[in-house]
């Protein structure tokens, strides 16, 4: 249900038919009383005649008090400064007063989100401050190996297994997670630049909900925004996500960028993806050498062969001998994979009994840590990293 915060009769007459059946409040005191006495509300629409500072103060106060409550800000004019301040305060959507279809869509989507968040709150135990989630980074130094497909399906498999999961698209320039999952994000990683200090509630405002227990933090959709996302910001984001989710799956670019290295520093388990062709294996070998140079423990390396049943003159045994490393998972090839991608549905959801789905589900199960999360988090802090600094991204 939705609450309208507005005192002007003309504005109320314009907004109410669009929003539907709502409770109307003229001031902040009445609004708080309504939310306290009728806790079923999931959306507050703030009308154009409410002072913007009052609206932002209210939105900020609700992030912890009522995390399931979404605030939609309606304004006569919208500019970048307003959008930045609204995002920082925790406002979910900013809509122009003359764009009533957008307001209707926002209210409908956010009411559904509120219902899901309420369900998640009742089903999942609250995290304690010393409990952190597991970070799994999916990396390949060669494009076309199926890295994003593996990352999206692994995240879906973890969520399906009952672990709250966030999929992070760290390919900031050419990320495909949003299109692979048919998500239309209101906010992306690029919006984190304007937030300043990142906490759990700020991260909550940045992620896009996909399905039960699965959210995504998506790459910027505007060109040039990626340049503003620093390695330090990536590290801070992943740190905040670890406080909120059981599993954080990071889909990286095919390069050792500063942002990718920041994700590596927070990683518990590396999934290193290759296919059965010489260029992919060569790049995988270089990747292993780089990880060795940077001091990342071999115990956390997991080689995944995608399309491992291809008859191309190389065998799995050949690859293991070349790498001197066991193969953690073999993903078979199938026409069902591109078909699922084109429909924007993870194959583990679309065809859970498929061979590809079963292999990814086994991989997700194998990656589940035996230790308590707090112990896992302490173990993830590695010692003795060699000094390493790059002035620009370097492709392997």
Candidate from 171-175, 185-189, 275-279, 308-312 with smallest mean pLDDT: 308-312
Dist CA 151 CA 271 (whole Å): 9
Fold assignment, 2-123: Rossmann fold (3.40.50)
Domain spans in the chain, listed from the N-terminal domain onward = 2-123, 134-379
Whether 388 shows a pLDDT value over 70: the answer reads no
Range ranked top by mean pLDDT from 27-41, 66-80, 143-157? 143-157
Whether 127 shows a pLDDT value over 80: the answer reads no
Residue-level pLDDT at 105: 85
Q: How confident is the model at residue 395 (pLDDT cuts 50, 70, 90)?
A: very low
Residue 233 DSSP SS3: helix
pLDDT tens-digit series, residues 217-251: 999 888 788 888 999 999 999 999 998 899 999 99
pTM higher than the cut 0.75 = no
Q: Examine domains 2-123 and 134-379 and report if their fold is the same.
A: yes
Average pLDDT over all residues of the chain: 84
Whether 50 shows a pLDDT value over 90: the answer reads yes
For 224-232, the CB contacts below 8 A with 24+ separation are 225/172, 225/188, 225/190, 225/193, 226/172, 226/173, 226/190, 228/190, 228/193, 229/172, 229/189, 229/190, 229/192, 229/193, 229/259, 230/258, 230/259, 231/258, 231/259, 231/261, 231/262, 232/262
Top-level CATH class of 134-379?
A: alpha beta
- Tokens coding 203: 């991260």
Alpha-carbon torsion angle 292, 297, 300, 302, nearest 10 = 30
Residue-level pLDDT at 79: 87
Whether 372 shows a pLDDT value over 50: the answer reads no
Question: In the predicted model, what is the mean pLDDT of residues 38-59?
Answer: 91
Whether 380 shows a pLDDT value over 50: the answer reads no
């Amino acid at each position: 249900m939705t609450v309208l915060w507005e005192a002007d009769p003309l504005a109320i007459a314009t907004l109410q038919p669009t929003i539907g059946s709502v409770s109307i409040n003229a001031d902040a005191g009445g609004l708080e009383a309504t939310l306290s006495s009728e806790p079923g509300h999931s959306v507050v629409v703030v009308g154009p005649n409410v002072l913007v500072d009052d609206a932002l103060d209210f939105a900020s106060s609700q992030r912890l008090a009522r995390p399931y409550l979404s605030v939609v800000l309606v304004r006569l004019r919208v500019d970048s400064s307003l959008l930045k301040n609204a995002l920082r305060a925790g406002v979910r959507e900013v809509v122009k007063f003359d764009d009533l279809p957008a307001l209707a869509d926002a209210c409908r989507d956010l009411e559904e989100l509120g219902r899901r968040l309420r369900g998640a709150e009742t089903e999942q135990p609250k995290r304690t401050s010393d409990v952190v989630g597991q970070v799994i980074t999916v990396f390949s130094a060669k494009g076309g190996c199926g890295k994003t497909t593996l990352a999206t399906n692994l995240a879906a498999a973890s969520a399906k297994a009952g672990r709250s999961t966030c999929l992070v698209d760290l390919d900031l320039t050419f990320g495909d997670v949003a299109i692979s999952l048919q998500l239309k994000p209101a906010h992306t990683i690029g919006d984190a630049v304007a937030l300043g200090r990142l906490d759990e509630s700020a991260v909550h405002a940045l992620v896009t909900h996909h399905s039960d227990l699965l959210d995504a933090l998506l790459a910027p959709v505007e060109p040039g925004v990626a340049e503003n996302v620093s390695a330090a910001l990536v590290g801070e984001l992943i740190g905040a996500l670890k406080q909120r989710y059981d599993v954080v799956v990071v889909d990286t670019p095919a390069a050792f960028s500063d942002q990718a290295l920041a994700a590596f520093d927070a990683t518990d388990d590396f999934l290193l993806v290759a296919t059965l062709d010489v260029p992919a294996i060569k790049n995988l070998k270089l990747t292993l050498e780089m990880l060795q140079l940077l001091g990342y423990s071999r115990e956390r390396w997991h080689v995944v062969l995608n399309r491992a049943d291809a008859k191309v003159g190389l065998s799995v045994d050949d690859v293991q001998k070349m790498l001197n490393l066991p193969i953690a998972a073999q993903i078979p090839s199938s026409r069902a994979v591109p078909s699922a991608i084109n429909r924007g549905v993870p194959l583990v959801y679309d065809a859970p009994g498929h061979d590809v789905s079963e292999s990814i589900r086994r991989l997700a199960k194998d990656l589940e840590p035996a230790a308590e999360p707090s112990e896992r988090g302490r173990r993830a802090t590695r010692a003795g990293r060699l000094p390493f600094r790059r002035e620009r991204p370097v492709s392997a």
